[in-house]
Amino acid sequence: APVGRYKLSVQNTSSGSSSPASLGTFVLLFNPWSSGDDVFMPNEAECEEYVLEEFGIIFAGNKNHINSFGWNFGQFQGDIINICLSMLDRSLNYRQDPATDVSHRNDPKYLGRVLSAMVNANDDHGVLLGNWSGNYEGGKSPSSWTGSGEILQNWKKSGFRPVKYGQCWVFAAVLTTVLRCLGIPTRTITNFSSAHDANGNLRVDEFYDASGNHLDVTADSIWNFHVWNESWFSRSDLGPSYSGWQVLDATPQEESGGIYQCGPASRNAIKEGDVHLDYDCPFVFAEVNADCMYWNYDPTTGKKTLIFSKSTVIGQFISTKAIGRDDRVDVTSDYKYEEGSTKERDIFKKARKKLGLEDKFDPTAPTPQEIDQKPDISGKFKVAGPLEVGKDLNLTLVLANLQSDAKTVHANMTAWSTVYTRRPVHEIWKDSISVTLSPKEVKQFPIKIPYTEYQQQLTTDNTIQVTALCHVEGGIQVLVQRDITLDNPAIEVQVLGEAKVNKEVDVEVIFTNPIDMEVRDCVLQVEGNDLLTGILEIDLPPLKASEKSSTKFKLVPFEAGPKHLLVNFSCDKFAVIKTFKMVNV
């Protein structure tokens, strides 16, 4: 039967009266506890986590430095069920043919696909408008949300106008809320070094100019991380070996069937390279497996030369929250065979073959000679100090001569602030060095980027990309790069006393300004299911250099059990500092 709201009435046949008496309405959901259901999940603990749990942890940062933050899914709060049902009635499919749309609402793969389109605003005036520019005027910065409830309520309150703004984890978190609300087991997945392959060739190309600037000239990109969803259901259309976890992605990246939607792609199909199967397997396969090509590009002549290619960069530390604990679980091996193994390369070839890429001449591909060329030197950036907003950034460029004769190197270095998709936003710093390396010599060059130089340019993602393009005399160029995510200072949350149902309890939030300048526009934002209603916002006075602030507020919990309090602190110098505290009521 289709999920949704049903009218229930009773008719008395004996009295001959023909009009039935209404008993009211009920909502029918998917049932993961029932063995006959498409979403049946035999493990009770998994049902608890992936359907009933209203708190989640989302992983972010980059592959060298994974961080995490809490999220309030809130799928059973207030009006959420009604908003989820009205979302279905606002989809393009429903508008085009209501009867057919409703008749398909018994099918989780149909609903998952429709909702992956409805959570983004593209095509259908869906829930969230994406914005990756680094400028979030006219809306809320994506990193400032703490839960899905506020977003869904705002969407409804505004007469279903798209809410500003979302980025990948916000789209994924809202889709988690909607699918859990309807009874479909769902979780968020973070993929580090995630490829966005815009032209479907299982390859991402990045271009750099002679100065080492990362050029924004291609639709391909490699994101520091990307968040999508997995939902659990059977695939009667593909066969039992493709049932289980299915990838859905509500972030609008590429059109599928003419609109911005993605999935469901069977996770088993991705692992086995069965990219010909429905839906959108080639795109998801590329996100975790694409090969990377780094090019030097001359904008004046349009000439491009390959610097190097890598097949082991993409799809690392694929992460999700543990069941019943606040820990990270690595699921990379569920998406692909071990990186660099023959099996993994065979699957990659199989996928290319299925997409017809093996037989087709690709004029944009590098020649075998280009791919086989060997550099004379190697380089890397080492971190030499704390990676914290408010502190100077200290790095070391290490260059090593791999040959037994001397090499002269000219290195052009740049640092740019970026958004987490590695899209460059502002130039922060540039420099160049020339050096002669004697045979097999390793040299280190210290780099210091003062806080005062990057402070104005930093985006809310706290990310900086450092690049050195090394021109080696008589040899091929070498590209050295590192993506750096800076940590915000910490905020401390303490519950003062025992939390009991319907009893007031004080909570204290402590923040110490770590920099030697005043911070202004300080705002504390607090939310937590069953601990307080709605979102508490507290404006705080400016804080002088090194000053400590303590803020107290009261909670009156209205349900017993382990609850999560989510706290955001923001000010003019630190975008959003997030933490959460488990409160045992």
Return binding residues for Ca(2+).
289, 291, 339, 344
The CA-atom distances, in angstroms, between 195 and each of 14, 192, 305, 415 are 67, 9, 21, 22
What 8-state DSSP symbol labels residue 90? T
- Token pair recorded at residue 201: 């060739």
In sequence order, what are the beta bridge partners of 493? 509
Residue of 387, 231, 427 whose CA lies nearest to 320: 231
**Would you call 249 a catalytic residue per the annotation?**
yes
Supply the Cα-derived Rg of the chain in whole angstroms.
26
The residue type found at 155 is: W
Annotated binding site: 289, 291, 339, 344
Secondary structure of 424-484 as H, E, C letters = EEEEEEEEEEEEEECCCCEEEEEEEECHHHHCCCCCCCCEEEEEEEEEECCCCCEEEEEEE
* DSSP-assigned letters across all residues of 141-200: -GGG--BHHHHHHHHHHTTSPPEEEE-HHHHHHHHHHHHHHTT--EEEEEEEEEEE-TTS
Residue of 180, 176, 185, 181 whose CA lies nearest to 44: 185
**Beta-carbon contacts of residue 96 (< 8 Å; ≥ 6 apart):** none
* DSSP-assigned letters across all residues of 284-311: HHHHHH-EEEEEEEETTTTEEEEEEEES
In sequence order, what are the beta bridge partners of 417? 426, 464
Q: Of 226, 262, 292, 483, which is the active-site residue?
A: 226
Distance, C-alpha 183 to centroid of its chain? 23
Measure the CA angle with vertex 444, ends 439 and 447; round to 5°. 150
CA distance 184 to 200: 30
**Would you call 226 a catalytic residue per the annotation?**
yes
CA distance 328 to 324: 11
- Token pair recorded at residue 248: 């859905």
Residue of 503, 527, 464, 526 whose CA lies nearest to 585: 503
- Token pair recorded at residue 395: 């790095």
Q: Of 205, 249, 461, 483, which is the active-site residue?
A: 249
Residue 85, φ and ψ in degrees, nearest 5: -70, -35
Measure the CA angle with vertex 133, ends 131 and 134; round to 5°. 105
Q: Of 47, 84, 168, 281, which is the active-site residue?
A: 168
Residues serving a catalytic function are 168, 226, 249
